[in-house]
A and B are shown apart, each in its own frame.
Chain A
Amino acid sequence: MTATFVMILALAAGTYAFRLVGPVLHGRVDISPRLQDLLSTGAVVLLVALLATGALTEGGHFAGWARPAGVLVGGLLAWRRAPFAVVVLAAAGATALLRAAGVA
């Protein structure tokens, strides 16, 4: 358990250090509007990659059809500008229904 606690502390400290990079550099390093634009775009690139890998893979393997199908249902609703709660509940509900029907 001590090892687990140390692991959590190390993960917390490292994560906070990553999160401080922006606030600490801000004002000390001159960030041009172009670089700021690149960083904003980079953040969206990371988010899209995260959702794509999160929807389709699990531990480096294909996550099965139920999850991406649910995310697709949520995505279509989001495209139609449905509220967040509808998007999320529909995504989880579609995945749950597919699994209940025997689709992995």
Chain B
Amino acid sequence: MSTDALPSKSGGNAALAFAKKPLVVALILIVLLLAVGEWLSPGFASPGQVLRLLIVAALLGIVAAGQNLVILGGREGIDLSVGGIVSLAAILAGNVMNGADSGILPAILVCIVVGGLFGLINGVGVTLLRIPPLVMTLGMLGVLQGLLVVIRNGIPSGRAAPGLSDFVVKPFLLGLPGIIWLWLLIGLAMAFLLRRTVFGYRVYAIGSNEQAAFMAGVPVKTIRVALFMLSGVFAAIAGMCLLGYSGSSFANVGEQYMLPSIIAVVLGGTPLSGGKGGYTGTMAGAVLLVLLQSILTTVHIDEAGRQMVFGATLVALMLFYGRAKAMRG
């Protein structure tokens, strides 16, 4: 028995050490994928191309920030409605600004309020009505999709203001567009929120053991509602940026963000069970995922194929982290 156990044990330890630093793994994979991309299609890793990838990653990363918070809060926390909120925000912003720079500020306000409102409903459903997050946010996604049909009545409407488009695609400072700076700012804010505020400590507390947190006086429900609200707000901000990126909105433009936002969080080392992890890893996860998507496009795998790869990636990650946990125990 001992002779059999030895090699598998050392293998397990190596895998464990590997799994312990998801950020390192993600960064190594990013470099690797860039190399593969460059080999498959020269010019893939050129500065301009990398910058374009980063803009797409920033859009995903902003959605994933909210997803990250909800997942950290535990109790099967997940927000499947982010895609719907992204779409809704893109349409609302497009209609509010309708191509005029003067409409940018009102659009921001509308997006934040609407995103926060839908997040609030999610949070209330999950805490006060005790609906499982998966069911609550999936239901909300359905409601949002219906709402989109009603609002648009099938006709595309609304355009991005030039100022917003410039913010997303044109260099702003040090050759980087505003959205990259915004993403970095969100990264810093998330790190501060999670590591330097009582709110952050409490998020980890309810994520690791809700009952114990409650017994230690943590306002569990308030925190959880706040997490869902933040998720709605982040999704709405991303939706507005997405409008700037594509110029005009189209139906279900945000749908593509639901699964990737979850995968980015898990890739970055925050387990779906919550209570540990952070946003730095999620940022790397978002870049990694966008890279993967881009490579798949380069080798002519269509949308259906990409979705399959994403789904398989999530399952593989679950298996990998599940095994790492079992080995620890």
Are chains A and B native binding partners rather than an unrelated pairing? no
Taking Cβ atoms with an 8 Å cutoff, the residues of B that contact A are none
